[in-house]
Structure 1
């Protein structure tokens, strides 16, 4: 019985969109991590672990797998360039028992025709990072890629130093991105864009086939998904760090966990990426960037929106121009919910704005502040600097949530769903990765287990709510994945 139930619908597209390629065999593969929860979600049953390792290390091609590297392009930090899967190989699309379709992709399995000067390999630590962060995001309730396994290859990878090689198995509903459409437009033509649009609609949004203007309906649908995704990021303090158009997933999933991090002290200008020197992808700028990315995507669809270019530009511009109002509404709803407010009243926006100003002024932790409002008892005395203005704000807020239907208890239940107690704080992520890189997985696994229930306070979480002073102020992440 095969481990995977592979189908290969992407191969229905013109071969411009991909290149057939075989993974590089790993000399001495060993299973480092296996995501058993995801195995169940995918209806995968492994009777022979050696066979699984063989497949996910690139040492064996399973029945019905037709490995490919996908072609795409993208605006990276605002500059357009030709790209493609440089070290990712799509084994196929796995169909679950309920006919859900998921890409199964090997990351770090060797060179592809799009590798440029790269070796197509990956090191252990960045692959462990993606595993940890993507599972944390999944448990936080954010649409995301997931990680099925990390396998060490038994060969060295040469970067600034010599590192141990690894392959990560990434799972997504698909790897179609804004950059895929940019590739179709710039390196193909209207027929390639039409072909990709039809495929995307049939795969992800079949209900749009009945739309009067499918291209415009697709733009509106994906814009809505992207807004929901960014609102989710802002809700939990997540900073992607490299929001290029090739990292903008059409189905609205978070992926590419290189220079990503979680904000501790609240500051909208927070950046942790070593390559984002101008703050383009700062925490508070993420809404502006997703709007910019969607604008680049809309440009690829113009010829399908209307054959009259002027009319097409008018229709697309109207959709893009609606972004600010819709996004702002979604953001306010999210922020009100973080304070336990489900039925906003006049003055509630002042309550939110004042809290954010106080947090920024007093350099308070974003996640812990919202947890403190609901559960002050789990924090040490004097941990929060409560000046007169903050005390006055708390009294106003307490009076306000009493007016909610269901009162304070209902408000607290709403807050619990919106505000994680535990996030993968940068200090503990690095501690977990550093120890795991030295083959000590004790802390990695215990941390990962706690991250499975981020909205439920457990006493053993208390030590993870704080990080050493100044750690985040000097913290940098890199494009290692």
Structure 2
């Protein structure tokens, strides 16, 4: 294993901080596949000690990064890693570079009034979600290991402490650049851009032309990411600029949620009283956040170039989303009436409170002629309400050249049968808090194959039970 600490050499970009060890840690989860990919051949006791902050590897230089951010629309001039540390950067056997980021590592200069700790509830939610998204093919940070401890942490109530070690090619956020722009240190911005080019995009030049191309990539990757969130029904919940990745990764899992009953106005974050980060607002928020990043980069990239790059956001998002929705509905090419077909489908789904994931998965069973399967009709509160739309959709399918089997296989390859619903995560959390990790292990195995038929686990693919509506997920989650 080869370790490096390039970012920690920027002593102006944060602070060196030793983690505060968790007492009596227990290794709860270890992502062996990812560890092998990173070339990290450690024993379970070594993983436990590393993830709990009790003993780092000799080459590691723990470092808390400083950044700023627009939070719910208002600017916070100094945020930073308040409970996390960049331990170092692993150079994997394939030459790719990965940050190792320990969340729940204790207080840092950026903890403000926090204790720097994480609880088992939120740590397990992050572990499950990041792996679920990875196997859905959506860009994300990854979870490497999770430890628990009986050491108490206080949120709304006393909870068991935990720490999660996550990995990503980079944890650079929009907020990093905002911090140096608004704090009057513009000379730091090209240094961070050069670091990103050196470690992630060495094909770019370290000059204005290269910085412009870099921003264009950030715009493209952000638009693609959010389109894919929308396609799978994922709500991030707290899309502050300090939670936006320069690499277009899903970053910082807190009050996230996958849609159960389709509601375009769904708010997954109990703390989001105004609905700023509602499901249907995510595309617009992504654009707004990119505008804030453009402002921070305006000293090194010409205004016209920034505007041209931002102008490509909507096209990239809509083209990715439209192509993805066409595949979800089993259509091989666009026809003029398709946009109206899509709009009317979503109107029907919202009115009938249709389960989002079940709807698209079960649509694969519908043939171009014949009766609508009961499994599909059963998703509607009033089955007759869907007759007209089903008839139009079947007529559209009849103009396709693929066989039913080919169409169904294509749809099932993009419409997951299994997603991480909040009630499933909650059940795993409740068991984990009692010392039983079996449900978390089962979920991870299930979510590693989200598109596959797993008949013995079909109950995990059912719509959420009524009690799930009462689950309250906030920023502290």
Q: Aligned equivalents of 2:376 and 2:339: distance in 1?
A: 30
Aligned to 1:94: 90
Q: 2:313 pairs with 316, 320, 323, which one?
A: 323
Q: Deviations over 1:122-152 (max 9, x none)?
A: 1112111111111111111111111111112
Q: Does residue 1:371 correspond to 2:361, yes or no? A: yes
The Cα of 1:383 is off from its aligned counterpart by 4.5
Task: Give, in whole Å, the separation in 1 of the partners of 2:273 and 2:149.
Answer: 34
Match of 1:50 among 45, 50, 57: 45
1:193-226 Cα offsets, whole Å, 9 max, x none, are 1111111122222222288722221221111101
2:253 maps to what in 1?
Answer: 257
Deviation at 1:59, TM superposition (A): 1.2
Seen in structure 2, the aligned counterparts of structure 1 residues 233 and 243 have a Cα distance that, compared at 3 Å, is same
SS at match of 2:205: helix
Greater CA deviation, 20-29 or 84-93? Answer: 20-29
2:369 maps to which residue?
none
**Greater Cα offset, 244-253 or 437-446:** 437-446
Give the number of aligned pairs.
470
Change (3 A) 1:60 1:355: same
More moved, 383-392 vs 119-128: 383-392
Shift of 1:78: 0.7
SS in 2 for 1:92: strand
Does structure 1 residue 18 correspond to structure 2 residue 10?
Answer: no
Match of 1:232 in 2: 228
Question: In the alignment, which of 411, 414, 420 is matched to residue 418 of structure 1?
Answer: 414
The answer as to 2:161 corresponding to 1:171 is no
> Residue 128 in 1 paired to residue 124 in 2?
yes
Could you tell me the TM-score, scaled by structure 2's length? 0.93
Query: Which is worse superposed, 257-266 or 465-474?
Result: 465-474
The reply on whether 1:39 has 2:35 as its aligned counterpart is: yes
Partner of 2:462: 466
Find the counterpart in structure 1 of residue 63 from structure 2: 68
1:290 aligns to what?
Answer: 286
Q: 1:336 to 1:143 in 2, by over 3 A?
A: same
Deviation at 1:446, TM superposition (A): 1.7
Go from structure 1 to structure 2 and tell me whether the alpha carbon gap of 1:45 and 1:466 turns closer, same or farther (over 3 Å shift): same
Could you say which residue in structure 2 is the equivalent of 1:109? 105
SS in 2 for 1:25: coil
Deviation at 1:389, TM superposition (A): 5.2
TM normalised by structure 1 equals 0.93
How many angstroms apart in 2 are the aligned matches of 1:416 and 1:465? 13
Whether the aligned pair in 1 keeps the contact of 2:37 and 2:93 (CA below 8 Å) is no
Cα drift, residue 119 of structure 1: 1.2
- Structure 1's 211 and 371: CA in aligned 2 closer, same or farther, altered over 3 A? farther
- How far did 1:457 drift? 2.0
Distance 1:401 1:12, change over 3 A: farther
3-state SS of 1:93 partner:
strand
Change (3 A) 1:325 1:16: same
What RMSD over aligned residues (CA atoms) do the two structures have, in Å? 2.0
The separation in 2 between residues aligned to 1:208 and 1:468, in whole angstroms, is: 47
**Structure 1, unpaired ranges of 5+:** 307-311
CA contact (8 A) 1:124 1:437 kept: yes
Of the structure 1 ranges 22-31 and 263-272, higher mean CA displacement relative to structure 2 is found in 22-31
Give distance in 2, aligned partners of 1:128 and 1:285: 27
Residues 211, 217 of structure 1: 8 Å contact kept: no
Q: In structure 2, how many angstroms separate the alpha carbons of the residues matched to 1:418 and 1:193?
A: 39
Aligned position for 1:397: 393
1:309: which partner in 2? none
Indicate how the Cα distance of structure 1 residues 405 and 215 shifts in structure 2: closer, same or farther if over 3 A, else same.
Answer: farther
Match of 2:370 in 1: none
Shift of 1:467: 4.4
* 3-state DSSP of counterpart to 1:232: helix
Question: Does residue 152 of structure 1 match 2:142?
Answer: no
Q: In structure 2, how many angstroms separate the alpha carbons of the residues matched to 1:114 and 1:86?
A: 5
Matched, 1:8 2:14: no
1:334 to 317, 324, 327: 324
Give the whole-Å Cα distance in 2 for the aligned partners of 1:228 and 1:45: 34
Taking the aligned partners of 1:205 and 1:403, their CA distance within structure 2 comes to 44
Q: Tell me whether 35-44 or 249-258 shows the greater mean CA deviation.
A: 35-44
Contact in 2 for aligned 1:240/1:259 (Cα 8 Å): yes
1:77 is the counterpart of 2:72: yes
Say if 1:143 and 1:252, in contact at 8 Å, map to a contact too. Answer: yes
The alpha carbon displacement at 1:413 in A equals 2.7
Residues 310-333 of structure 1 show CA distances to partners (whole Å, capped at 9, x for unaligned) of xx2x33223223322332222211
CA–CA distance in 2 between the matches of 1:160 and 1:190?
40
Provide the secondary structure at the position in 2 that maps to 1:22. Answer: coil
Cα drift, residue 233 of structure 1: 0.6
